[in-house]
């Protein structure tokens, strides 16, 4: 999540990395955006997200003058962060997963990695490679607070005709299907499953039994969406992610 997802930003020119907005989002600009999203979320300001992203343009142009920032480019990255977060929190919640607060990366059994990649492909691969964009005041708690449902970002309606916004909402809803109930066929990870029948908000304890050498991680997320306080987990802030999550919605 520290880099942009595989979806192409508006007006990207892949032939020239300098002109391709997907290459602008190194860690520092990404953290800057997350920090401003958090400020907007916690300020309880009642204004449209369109105005919010317009207000960030001069800030980004001053901080990162090498690039021609526009509101739609910043908006697009915020959507990527939202979609990436829904996948990250599902991985973070699983029994046996360890989270490193300094790097933002997740550690887990190899077969769990394969399962996540099978379900979420490029997004899971990117999360496993880069982890969550964290640093300075931005922690995993920051993301929980940004994407809770009871605030300006979490509660904004999606505008009619906003295809990307509806796609982000559908991605969140897909993550909130009924939990997958594993059988005793512990080794049947790579065949016999339909991808549409494999939600992974949480893993059945039996599915991780076996001869794996990896140490068990902290407890999984309970149904209310509040992270358990395992040894290697960050404790969420006062507004943990509500069950169901949220995309960056638009007015």
Please tell me the predicted confidence (pLDDT) of residue 29. 94
What average pLDDT score do residues 109-122 get?
A: 92
Distance of alpha carbon 8 from alpha carbon 23, whole angstroms: 11
Distance of alpha carbon 97 from alpha carbon 131, whole angstroms: 13
For residue range 81-98, list pLDDT tens digits in order. Answer: 999 999 999 999 999 999
Please tell me the predicted confidence (pLDDT) of residue 41. 85
User: 101: closest CA among 153, 126, 64, 138?
Assistant: 138
Confidence of residue 19 (pLDDT cuts 50, 70, 90): low
User: 121: closest CA among 6, 22, 203?
Assistant: 6
Strand (E) or helix (H) holding 228: none
Largest Cα separation within the chain, whole Å, is: 57
What average pLDDT score do residues 42-68 get?
A: 85
User: 231: closest CA among 86, 85, 97, 91?
Assistant: 97
Q: How far is CA 185 from the centre of its chain?
A: 30
Cα distances from 14 to residues 4, 20, 115, 133, in angstroms, run 14, 6, 30, 23
Q: Are 66 and 17 in contact (CB under 8 A)?
A: no
Q: Are 240 and 221 in contact (CB under 8 A)?
A: no
**4-18, 76-90, 215-229: segment of lowest average pLDDT:** 215-229
Distance of alpha carbon 103 from alpha carbon 121, whole angstroms: 22
Percent of the chain with pLDDT over 70: 48
Residue spans per domain, the chain: 17-180+196-202
Please tell me the predicted confidence (pLDDT) of residue 16. 53
Please tell me the predicted confidence (pLDDT) of residue 99. 95
Distance of alpha carbon 29 from alpha carbon 7, whole angstroms: 18
Tokens standing for residue 153: 């970002």
Query: What is the overall mean pLDDT for the chain?
Result: 68
């Amino acid at each position: 999540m520290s880099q942009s997802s595989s979806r192409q930003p508006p007006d990207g020119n892949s032939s020239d990395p300098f002109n391709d907005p997907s290459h602008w989002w190194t860690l520092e600009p990404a953290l800057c955006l997350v920090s401003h999203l958090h400020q907007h979320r916690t300020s309880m300001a009642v204004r449209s997200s369109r105005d919010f992203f317009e207000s960030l343009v001069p800030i980004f142009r001053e901080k990162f003058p090498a690039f021609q920032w526009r509101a739609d480019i910043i908006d697009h990255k915020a959507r990527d962060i939202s979609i990436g977060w829904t996948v990250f929190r599902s991985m973070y919640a699983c029994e046996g997963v360890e989270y490193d607060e300094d790097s933002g990366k997740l550690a887990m059994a190899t077969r769990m990695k394969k399962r996540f990649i099978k379900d979420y492909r490029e997004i899971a691969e990117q999360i496993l490679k880069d982890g969550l964009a964290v640093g300075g005041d931005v922690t995993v708690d920051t993301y929980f607070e940004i994407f809770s449902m009871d605030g300006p970002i979490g509660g904004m309606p999606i505008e009619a005709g906003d295809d990307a916004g509806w796609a982000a909402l559908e991605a969140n809803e897909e993550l909130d299907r009924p939990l997958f109930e594993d059988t005793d066929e512990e080794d049947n990870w790579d065949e016999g499953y339909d991808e549409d029948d494999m939600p992974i908000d949480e893993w059945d304890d039996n599915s991780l039994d076996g001869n794996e050498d990896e140490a068990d991680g902290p407890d999984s997320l309970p149904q209310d969406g509040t992270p358990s306080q395992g040894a290697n987990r960050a404790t969420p802030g006062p507004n943990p992610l509500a069950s169901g999550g949220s995309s960056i919605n638009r007015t």
